[in-house]
Structure 1
Amino acid sequence: MFTEEDELRIRNNLNNVRERIRKAAERCGRNPDDIMLLAVSKTVGIEAIETAIKEKVLNFGENRVQELVQKYDILKGRCNWHLIGRLQTNKVKYIIDKVVLIHSLDRLELADEIQKRAQACNRVVNTLIQVNVSGEETKAGISPDEVLNFVKKVSAYPNIKVKGLMTIAPYTDNPENVRWVFRRLKDIFVDIRRENINNIDMQYLSMGMSHDFEVAIEEGANIVRIGTSIFGERQYP
């Protein structure tokens, strides 16, 4: 049961997260308003999400297509939805008209399906390329050496607009240990932007989560994906 105490906790957590974003941005001479707070709402109930909406959180990220669709149908356009988890090709049709940004484009097979579905409903779908900077076998994403060629191939899809890059750093108790991951993705981001590839708009760097988002901001992130620090530990079914 969602209580008044839960609502207060989320409000306080949001205030704390926003203050940490502000301080991290100011440390590196950036405007905090340029950094999007993406609230990760995986397994989070509707009442908790509604509390965040009341606190002017506009963007929510989901890992699972089914959960995103259910929440989309309930909240009826009161916020923007991002798909941040690995996307199976057979699930694209369910979210193609519901998300403002897909963070996890990582293979041409998926690009083919997004293009097909987007063309069918006359939409241009914004995506980020997921890059596996750390090289962990358990993580999805394109290797850093292959990103530029992949971006060039995707640039030929008229109904897909690449808007930037995303990565997931290894979990660590000390965020300084993964600073190099964020720095490497920023370097790749800058290199691709310099190429001036048609239909490619290097606008977003989606990197950093609850345990490391301040370091990610210092290294250039302008979307941070934060769940636990807002909603608390996930309650898995």
Structure 2
Amino acid sequence: MLVNKNTYQEIGKDLNQKNVTLVAVSKTKPVEAIQELYELGQRDFGENYVQELIDKQSKMPSDIRWHFIGHLQSNKVKYIAPFVHLIHGVDSYKLLKEINKQGEKQGRVIDVLMQIHIAQEETKFGLDSKELEEVITQSGIDQLKNVRIRGLMGMASFSDDQTLVRREFQYLRSLFNKYNSNLPMFTILSMGMSGDYQLAVEEGSTMVRIGSLLFGARNYQQ
């Protein structure tokens, strides 16, 4: 068995009752592990690397909803544009325009989340509140008909300080609330991972990204 079946069912049941979407983070994991979760009913899977996502998508059932959760370079958008369900990490207007361009070529509207930097670590990507407002109010954004901003995503500090993590989630929720009343499709607040998803759900997350709790620790030597 390549997945923690009991853990998946417990987490899945809890999140389902709270109307929170579970994205199973399958990066570096074999397609056999994804298949095990798929057979248990899981349909949303998250990948960090474009080539790995392309390879897995070609081998797996067509009804899987693939989420790209890594840092996406503009020149790589075209490779996932035909099938990606949701891009989680948009952090510039330039990237938004490129996604729109590739969506137009594919004849589809691509859903995205704007990534907000909420953590203490400088290594994490994302916009601040001013940059987010500049993107959302950008002149010409209404002309981007093939990309749709569905909400926000953010990653809290990697810390045991729950007060800090909760405060970061509360900040992201406040930004989400600022925009979701005026944007009808702005309904997704993606925050929370294996170590802090319960806290994130308490603070209003509608989508969590969980990997190690489901698949076990990753082997980056593979």
User: Where does the alignment leave 5 or more consecutive residues of structure 2 unmatched?
Assistant: none
Report how far residue 202 of structure 1 moved.
Answer: 1.2
Query: Does 2:64 match 1:74?
Result: no
> Which shifted more, 163-172 or 136-145?
136-145
C-alpha contact (below 8 Å) 1:92/1:117 kept by paired residues: yes
Match of 1:37 among 15, 22, 29: 22
TM-score when normalising by structure 2: 0.92
Report how far residue 193 of structure 1 moved.
Answer: 1.9
Residues 53 and 76 of structure 1: CA distance in aligned 2, closer, same or farther (over 3 Å): closer
Instruction: Give the CA RMSD over aligned residues.
Output: 1.7
Query: Does 2:205 match 1:221?
Result: yes
Q: Secondary structure at the match of 1:13?
A: helix
Q: Secondary structure at the match of 1:229?
A: helix
Query: Does 2:92 match 1:107?
Result: yes
- 2:137 & 2:44 partners in 1: Cα distance? 28
Any idea what the Cα deviations from partners look like across 1:85-106, whole Å, max 9, x if unmatched?
A: 0001111000001111000111
C-alpha contact (below 8 Å) 1:168/1:208 kept by paired residues: yes
Query: Does 2:168 match 1:181?
Result: yes
What residue is the counterpart of 1:28 in the other structure?
none
**One-letter code aligned to 2:45:** F
Q: How does 1:145-156 map to 2 (within 5 A)?
A: 145-153=130-138, 154-156=141-143
Query: Does 2:160 match 1:203?
Result: no
- 1:72 & 1:122 partners in 2: Cα distance? 19
- 1:19 & 1:171 partners in 2: Cα distance? 26
C-alpha contact (below 8 Å) 1:133/1:144 kept by paired residues: no
Larger helix fraction of residues:
1
What residue is the counterpart of 2:5 in the other structure?
11
- 2:13 & 2:62 partners in 1: Cα distance? 27
- 2:30 & 2:100 partners in 1: Cα distance? 32
Report how far residue 19 of structure 1 moved.
Answer: 5.2
Residues 76 and 19 of structure 1: CA distance in aligned 2, closer, same or farther (over 3 Å): closer
Report how far residue 20 of structure 1 moved.
Answer: 5.3
**One-letter code aligned to 1:68:** L
Any idea what the Cα deviations from partners look like across 1:51-89, whole Å, max 9, x if unmatched?
A: 101111110000001010000000031411000000011
User: Where does the alignment leave 5 or more consecutive residues of structure 1 unmatched?
Assistant: 1-5, 23-30
Query: Does 2:49 match 1:64?
Result: yes
Percent identity among equivalent residues?
37
Q: Secondary structure at the match of 2:127?
A: coil
C-alpha contact (below 8 Å) 2:111/2:149 kept by paired residues: yes
**Number of residue pairs aligned between Structure 1 and Structure 2:** 219
TM-score when normalising by structure 1: 0.87
Match of 2:146 among 159, 162, 169: 159
- 1:11 & 1:207 partners in 2: Cα distance? 23
**One-letter code aligned to 1:220:** G
Match of 1:233 among 200, 217, 220: 217
- 2:37 & 2:61 partners in 1: Cα distance? 15
> Which shifted more, 123-132 or 108-117?
108-117
C-alpha contact (below 8 Å) 2:151/2:180 kept by paired residues: no
C-alpha contact (below 8 Å) 2:120/2:157 kept by paired residues: no
> Which shifted more, 11-20 or 183-192?
11-20
- 1:147 & 1:97 partners in 2: Cα distance? 26
